[in-house]
A and B are shown apart, each in its own frame.
Chain A
Amino acid sequence: MPLLEVQGLSKHFGGLVANDRIDLRVDKGEIVGLIGPNGAGKTTLFNCIAGFYPPTAGNVQFKGEDITGLPANEICLRGIARTFQIVRIFKDMSVLDNVMVGAFSRTNSAARAKQKALEVLDFCGLAAKKSLLAGGLTIADKKRLELTKALATEPSLLMLDEAIAGLNQTETAEAVELVKKVRETGITVLLVEHVMEVVMPISSRVVVLEYGKKIAEDIPEKVIHNEGVIKAYLGDKYHASRRAH
């Protein structure tokens, strides 16, 4: 049984078809990369799975249960945590308090939430910054905090929406290490990225969207050689230069 199974999911905004009958499955323990050019519908698909938009058609199954159209908070409690492309941290709260908010999804006790938050902060390498105000962190640390908060909800599936985009090389390498570490703890990861160098080495499978449709799904080695993907995603220029070799 797949951990997450999306069947025929469509999302229309008025006349715009953001997602068109998308099928997607994620098995336990995988890191699945979801890629595609700007406006391909990656974030919309994320929002439909995580309960932020009700899908127009299709259904989403998680651990064998139908979760289509459930509210976001309910989906989080069932074990899907997501981060946002534009971080949604609580900037007037301390780093520790931010993570505690996530930890409270599994406990009513402040002491236990704090203990859990400290563990997760330590795991993510933010322990030294726990007393700082979240609003004062660097972009890289804000993205890291966004991931830490999500991990504190003890998810079985973590969905990262461009958690790495916009970071410099060192920060990117650190973030990739963190995602790998998360997977090693048994958490399945669904990753939206447009940085190919990030997605390719860590994903066990890559799904490619274009204009709201799924155009390819394969292991990374095969996806990068897929003519349709090269044309659609990497552009004609890259396509042409490959031909020249």
Chain B
Amino acid sequence: MGGNKRKWIWLVIGAILCLVFPLFLTLPFPRHLMIMIFLYASLGLAWNMIGGYAGQISLGHAIFFGAGAYTSTLMLMKLGVSPWVGMLVGGILSVGIAFIIGYPCFKLAGHYFAIATIAIGEIAQQWMLNWDWAGSAVGLTLPILPESLINLEFHTTKAPYYYIAFGIFILAILATYGVDRSKLGYYFKAIKGDLEGARSLGINVSKYKFYALALSAFFTSICGSFYAQYVLFIDPDSVFPLMLSIIVCLVATLGGVGTVWGPVIGAFILIPISEFTRIQFGGGGKGTDLIIYGFLIMVISIYQPFGVIGISKRFKKKEPA
């Protein structure tokens, strides 16, 4: 129980630090960095549900991110609906897409599932590049509306974006905790561990794989809508790229898959690297961060296949039963 209490104290301290952070750091860059960390941590947590817990490696998650970004943006531009509503509709739409993807793809095992998701992600991107009504390759520039929470647009300060990103992150953490402690989490892990073994214990494997993908898609989509409102410009290359799917997978894998805090650790390591190299090298150094990522992934997979969180567990003494 002592360890548990200490854990809660750390969590509360962490949450308070995150809450007061914008009061002390008023420059835009540190806030932007933290917003990106929260965004990618949430994306990593979302990916973790299907890729980490249920062990179905998706490399097409950009499709849900893009669906969220485009749904809220198009609803705002064409119908004048608040982005919050668009965010929710995008999330539901993504669950629908998850079902359409899952139905044929869940019959594929291991690498074949990953390959299929890459293909579907590419199809989505090509489609959006050619869909004139949705802006095609030119993309969509969001209308500049008066600053307000309802409009989900803020022009003078990044602080509200910071708190909204933090809120999404907290939701993703709570959802992951919920999964981790419940029947869902046990079933997802069993499916990852041994498919036939899972079936023999009464688990409807396709149904639970779909639940995992649906949860994952919903949160990824919410992140997409938030991204659109934050950057105020989206195009198929920024919200549907394969690279986004890969980075989301890397965030979770580097930190440690199938754990609550793994993707969070991954985001705190990867996103600063990405942002700093972007500043250091500018456009000419595009991809430098990926060289570093690649190196880190190699080191992790050779020396500690359970991610950074596995290293910390290795040093921790075993809890008495």
Contacts and interface: CB of A to CB of B under 8 A. Distances in A.
Interface of A: 50, 52, 71-74, 76-77, 81-84, 88-93, 97, 100-102, 104-105, 108, 110, 113, 130-131, 149-150, 152-153
A143 to B, nearest CB: 13
Interface stretch (B197-205, B273-281, B288-296): B197-205
Contacts of A131: 318-319, 321
B183 A108 contact: yes
Interface in B128-187: 181-183, 186-187
B5 to A, nearest CB: 20
A113 B183 contact: yes
A241 to B, nearest CB: 41
A76 B197 contact: no
Interface residues of B, number: 24
Interface string B218-248: 0000000000000000000000000000000
A108 B190 CA distance: 15
A74 B200 CA distance: 9
Given A73-B202, A110-B181, A131-B319, A100 B186 contact: yes
Contacts of A113: 183, 186
Contacts of A50: 200
B116 to A, nearest CB: 23
A88 B319 contact: no
The 10 tightest CB contacts between A and B, nearest first, are A88-B197, A90-B193, A105-B202, A76-B202, A131-B321, A72-B199, A101-B190, A88-B194, A102-B201, A104-B183
B204 to A, nearest CB: 5
A84 B319 contact: no
B149 to A, nearest CB: 36
A113 B200 CA distance: 17
B97 to A, nearest CB: 26
Contacts of A97: 186, 189
Contacts of A81: 200-201
A102 B321 CA distance: 21
A81 B202 CA distance: 9
